[in-house]
Structure 1
Amino acid sequence: MTPSTLPPLPGVPAASRAALQEILDRTDPAILGVVLSGSAARGMATERSDVDVYVVRTEEAGTGLETSRSPAVDEIPTTLAEIEAPGALGTDDWWYRWSFAHAHVLRDDTGGRLTEAVRRHAELAGEEQRAVLVDRLDGYVNFAFRALKAERDGRPLELRLDAAESVTWWLDTVYALRGRVRPYNKYLPWALREHPLGVPEWSADVLLPLLERILDGDPGALRTAYAPVERECLAWDRAHGGTDLADTLAGWGDQLDLLR
């Protein structure tokens, strides 16, 4: 075991810090590492925040254990094998992946395997990135198109409902284009500001106000959101030597004119 010291954790109360330090100091050889997630890991903790810490154990010691909750810390047992196998799109484990994005690996007794596995959870590459993009892009276009069709046909409620439904697919697509898993809604403003996507239209100062307009059912906002997605999809195809995303868009034919 490598002795570990807690980093600065703004907003984390003293009792929680003490509980985390106690976990770090354990000499149990079955413990392979400790990963801090949630608000505490991202500098957003308040007095009402849960402090979520994953205690990574060997396969033999970690199987069958349940989360231990206390006012100071929620101790979540897991195994190295589980963390080294990020959930695929369409599985229940997919929705847990962003919990490891920008998490603090407080202790790693695996020679770096744990740290690398945690990093991998938040990233998309290769065939996984391609599969996520094709799936989420098609769903995004579907809901954005439906919203604008409702606006054209004079159905304002349906416009707002489909516009709101398009948002999850839109953000999934935007983040997947940059090789990342979409943040949980709670962390979206933080993630955009602290970890920019590198596209002007997707900066926090541009994307967040646009998001609010989409949720209000603004047809112009839906079209504004679509333009850089199409551009970046075609650029992604060129960079990766394929036509998967162009083919997905082409499948919509002249219906895309409603989004442009």
Structure 2
Amino acid sequence: MDLQLPDHLTDDHRQLIVDLAERNLAEHGDGLLGLVLSGSAGRAAATEHSDLDVYVVLSDDAAKHRSATRSTTVDELPLSLTELERAPAFGSGGWWFRWSFAWVPTLLDRTGGRIPAALHRQATLTPEEVEAVVIEHSRLDGWLNYAYRALKSDRDGNRLECRLDGAESMPWLLDLIFALAGRVRPYHKYLPWELREHPLPDWPADVLLPLLQRTLDGDPTALRDTFARVETGCAAYDAARGHDRTKEIIDDWGEGLLLFQS
């Protein structure tokens, strides 16, 4: 086997992966198609408390007889190449797992490149998927809804309600801005890491993270500042796609937009 082990791994982690690879090769032979290192260790963000999350990519037949095994040191997660190459749609049961394959190394590939290609496909969105997230699944309109409710609560002196709706708006916002960049949004644990290691166009870490914190703190100006950036990003998206669909969604809020501008 030609294992490609990242330089940042500890000696203990390297040995655990070698042992896992040899055990799976002995069990599955040609049915072992590859290994992928996910989690904190796969992203060079491990701490002393981190275990290894290793996806064992198998042929369809080999995968039928395997289930996940977990320990304090290694989570061994078998899946077939067919499963890895299938990108679940937004809102489906498998959508939440797609980011597991973002920015992670392939330790072993016996497929001639199909595994790295599948990882990239899982973590990125086609133009059709972007439109589905932003428009069909209402991530733009949903964010506007919660942000508007938060601003109304602030106007009326309801501080707790403002903070609650501001917090509720965040998943919608993150789905939106990552989708506009053609990416699946990360798990919250990895949001600061991704913003710093793989910056979003127009949403650098030193802008987005303080906006999120200010929103949690109930600062209405954070929502207004966010709206200005969202509006600019949506205009660029519409121009690139040759339509006005996001502009129409925003314009449909009519006089409600005054709260975002005051």
Q: TM-score range by the shorter chain?
A: over 0.9
C-alpha distance in 1 between matches for 2:188 and 2:114: 29
Q: Any conservation in 1 of the 2:4–2:106 contact (CA below 8 Å)?
A: no
**Partner residue, 1:7:** 6
* Alpha-carbon RMSD: 1.4
Q: Give the superposition deviation at 1:126.
A: 1.6
Identical-pair percentage: 50
Query: For residues 6 and 222 of structure 2, what CA distance do their matches in structure 1 show?
Result: 41
Q: CA deviation at 1:109?
A: 1.0
Structure 2 portions without partners, runs of 5+? none
Alignment pair present for 1:94 and 2:95: yes
- For residues 103-118 of structure 1, what are the structure 2 equivalents within 5 Å? 103-118=104-119
Distance 1:58 1:100 in 2: 18
1:30 aligned residue: 31
Moved more, 155-164 or 63-72: 63-72
| 1:193 matches 2:196 | yes
Contact 2:127–2:182 under 8 Å retained in 1: no
Distance of 1:209 and 1:37 partners within structure 2: 28
Change (3 A) 1:105 1:229: same
> Secondary structure of the residue that 1:92 maps to in structure 2?
coil
Q: Provide, for residues 192-215 of structure 1, a one-character-per-residue CA deviation record: whole Å limited to 9, x for no partner.
A: 11101121xx11112111211111
In the alignment, what sits opposite 1:68?
69
Shift of 1:106: 0.9
Mapping of residues 85-234 of structure 1, within 5 Å:
85-134=86-135, 135-199=138-202, 202-234=203-235
Q: Deviations over 1:54-97 (max 9, x none)?
A: 00001111025211123331110001111111121111211111
Aligned AA (1:42): R
Runs of 4+ in 1 over 6 A off after TM superposition: none
Is it true that 1:56 corresponds to 2:53 in the alignment? no
What is the aligned partner in structure 1 of residue 260 from structure 2? 259
Provide the aligned length of Structure 1 versus Structure 2.
255
User: 2:17 aligned with 1:20, yes or no?
Assistant: yes
Paired residues of 1:177 and 1:236 also in contact (CA < 8 A): yes
Instruction: Give, in whole Å, the separation in 2 of the partners of 1:251 and 1:60.
Output: 52
- Structure 1 portions without partners, runs of 5+: none
Compute the displacement of 1:226 (Å). 1.0
- AA partner of residue 21 (structure 2): L
Structure 2 distance, partners of 1:228, 1:85, is 33
Residue-by-residue CA offset, 1:129-188 (whole Å, 9 max, x unaligned): 111111211111111011001111221111000001111111111111111111111111
- Alignment deviations for residues 227-248 of structure 1 (CA, whole Å, 9 cap, x no partner): 1111110110111112221122
1:237 and 2:233 matched: no
Using the TM superposition, give the Cα deviation of residue 251 of structure 1 relative to its aligned residue in structure 2, in angstroms: 2.3
Once residues 225 and 83 of structure 1 are traced to their aligned partners in structure 2, the CA distance between those partners, rounded to angstroms, is 35
Q: What TM-score comes out, normalization by structure 1 length?
A: 0.94
Q: Would the aligned equivalents of 1:15 and 1:72 in 2 still touch at CA under 8 Å?
A: no
- CA drift at 1:9: 2.7
Tell me if the contact between 1:3 and 1:24 (Cα under 8 Å) persists in the aligned partners. Answer: no
Q: TM-score, normalised by structure 2?
A: 0.93
